[in-house]
Structure 1
């Protein structure tokens, strides 16, 4: 019996390249693919970590901006890399594009770009975030819009109490839009603080609103929102107390009803208390 001939060098090279080609194809085909360095174990890294990190960064960004007129939502993750340290947690560096949350004005730029570093401590909420975004809104126009919204809220004649915003058809009455935008702004803090590397949140509905009297000119609201918790698919009611005045740091405290540990679902913060986190243009 003759000994088998070794495969030609070209075939050996193609076989050696197959895993690399397959990996590259997966990265280009799957927007949720995460580039993890070989030396960093990927154990416990959830699928879609780049999108989750981008949403957490935007929740933090929206809260710190403190402007209902400057709200942004995620458009797409453009690039990113995640590292996993079994003892510490997961660190994500990424670049993503954003869109204006309520693009009503024609002739304005509605898209932008952000870069962020997000650090998730092992299964703990409130990721540490450094985020920088390109300027998306003219400062003077944004201030004018915020003050117009502020005046609308001060003159609001619709009885407050039990509401459904949006309604069962997903519609938001224009007269109630300022309420929804303020609820979205206050909820941004709650969603950021509750996010972990395995859980993220989406605002589903504003279900009740109570406007409180204040000793100054600020707007003071107690409201209840429903948050959709991924990946448990639970709907979480959260009561939020929000104090807002255009150009000043947002003040938020909240309590969420949860099946696990209700005491872990409450928090309080003022925007100025977050100065240790990097926060740039909006």
Structure 2
């Protein structure tokens, strides 16, 4: 799905409406908004709401309210991933016809048991950059007919990318241009290492598309030229670059910014109940005060 290059820089902020935005989200939104303004570019807002079990309308409304209070202005209409599931399905089907995906049926408990048994022998099980054990990939070795039978049997399954096979198709080194900084201050041309992630999920029975697949499709179709996001997603760029190459999608510039950490040194999280932007507004803080707080905390 080749997309013509845009006439000007295009940035986006893409939150999920599964909780209230916190200071870390405010930092990312402000950086995107301000970089777009400084470069004479466009600033888009995208709602990543594929997970229908956790995403709620009230959280989406809160996102709009919080960003408007911060003084940010974005283009209309806002893109919602839930409106474009057919596009992600088409991208998955393209990878399937290339023979690069396979159905996986192992549960988290089965994976945990397999990893524990392996490590009990004294050998470490490989883990991805986030520390999660790589998927065993047993179904990868099945024939196409056996994989089809697995799916036809009605067993809950996910579709995973055969990363090693996909990397083997590449004719040129896989790189990305980094204008921010990685965990160790890396910048400039960065060598991607998608193998470090193992066979990532692209779709599940309860979710029609994974973050990895939908984000590269959306960025391409929206003409995003600059992906500006937190350093916690730095390593995921390797998988995104691989998917872009496989699907003939344009390559954006990447800029990974610093994170705001809590008192205990961990990054802020919705699931941990970290204070939302709305709480500062209700407490009488001004957008200018919040900006100053972000600069101090980051």
- Normalised-by-shorter TM-score class: under 0.3
Q: Which has the higher strand share?
A: 1
